């Protein structure tokens, strides 16, 4: 259901941090340290996107990307590099990379670019949640066919509830995992956001059937169905 990412990064700290964060975003991540391991992984299974460091110990990311393209693998490739020169950026695109991000980068920018690449090139998983249709990777929500604008926090809450679909989630858990205990968020804040989500997913928000209250415990979201579209 979630997108499968291959992360190729030789620096252990960055590999771990990126891997953890991407998993938290709901992606399935395989993280490897060099082109040899990446090649092995590519032969074993399908990926939806490859995040590829340029400076690898055994092969440059440019060379590895060109190798993938030469054998007909067209999964989107996002290159990471500490290099800034324009000619190297051109090398990146000429090797068949789809996008390019200079280190150090902001995690949010990486996430935005991943979503954009997946939206542009990939399969999309659409979930039916009450009367809403949710594209997690594309960060798009429609209610009865009409696009809905959600704040980043509300989308994060929706994504979290979907990830924990069918389970009872406590307010405390939401404060910790969605709000990271930041700012002045309280359980009241959670309730307000749940109310906003209900206006998106429920036919009748006063009679919730999809995002239900589990009395004394918290909330539970029931996802009706998921389906994956073909390549766009």
Characterize 63-85 residue by residue with b for buried, 16 or more Cβ atoms within 10 angstroms of its Cβ, and e for exposed: ebbbbbeeeebebbbbbbbebee
Answer yes or no whether residue 222 interacts with Ca ion by CB under 5 A. no
Q: With respect to Ca ion, which residue has the nearer C-beta, 95 or 140? A: 95
Q: With respect to Ca ion, which residue has the nearer C-beta, 35 or 158? A: 35
**CB 105, min distance to Ca ion, A:** 13
**CB 5, min distance to Ca ion, A:** 17
Q: At how many degrees (to 10) do helices 152-163 and 187-201 cross?
A: 80
Q: Which helix (H) or strand (E) holds 6?
A: strand 4-8
Q: With respect to Ca ion, which residue has the nearer C-beta, 105 or 227? A: 105
Give the x/- contact pattern for Ca ion in 42-61, rule: CB under 5 A. Answer: -----------x-x------
User: 96's torsion region: left (phi>0), alpha (psi -120 to 50) or beta?
Assistant: left
Answer yes or no: are the C-beta atoms of 169 and 161 closer than 8 Å.
yes
User: Which residue in this structure is represented by tokens 């404060």?
Assistant: 175
**CB 53, min distance to Ca ion, A:** 4
Residue nearest to Ca ion (CB): 55
Q: With respect to Ca ion, which residue has the nearer C-beta, 37 or 55? A: 55
Site for Ca ion in 1-30 (CB under 5 A): 10
Q: With respect to Ca ion, which residue has the nearer C-beta, 51 or 136? A: 51
- Chain mean position to CA 153: 15
- Site residues, Ca ion (CB under 5 A): 10, 53, 55
């Amino acid at each position: 259901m979630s997108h499968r990412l291959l992360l190729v990064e030789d620096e252990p700290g960055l590999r771990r941090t990126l891997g953890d964060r991407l998993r938290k975003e709901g992606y399935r991540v395989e993280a490897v340290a060099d082109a040899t391991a990446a090649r092995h992984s590519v032969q074993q299974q399908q990926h939806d996107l490859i995040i590829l460091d340029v400076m690898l110990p055994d092969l440059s990311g440019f060379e590895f990307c060109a190798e993938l393209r030469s054998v007909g693998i067209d999964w989107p490739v996002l290159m990471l590099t500490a290099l800034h020169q324009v000619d190297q950026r051109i090398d990146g695109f000429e090797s068949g990379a789809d996008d390019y991000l200079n280190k150090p980068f902001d995690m949010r920018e990486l996430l935005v670019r991943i979503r954009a690449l997946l939206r542009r090139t990939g399969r999309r998983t659409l979930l039916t949640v009450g009367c809403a249709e949710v594209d997690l990777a594309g960060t798009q929500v429609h209610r009865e066919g009409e696009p809905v604008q959600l704040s980043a926090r509300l989308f994060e809450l929706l994504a979290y509830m979907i990830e924990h679909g069918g389970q009872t989630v406590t307010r405390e858990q939401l404060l910790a995992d969605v709000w990271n205990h930041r700012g002045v968020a309280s359980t009241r804040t959670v309730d307000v956001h749940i109310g906003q989500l209900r206006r998106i997913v429920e036919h009748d928000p006063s009679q919730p059937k999809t995002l239900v209250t589990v009395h004394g415990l918290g909330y539970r979201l029931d996802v009706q169905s998921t389906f994956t579209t073909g390549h766009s």
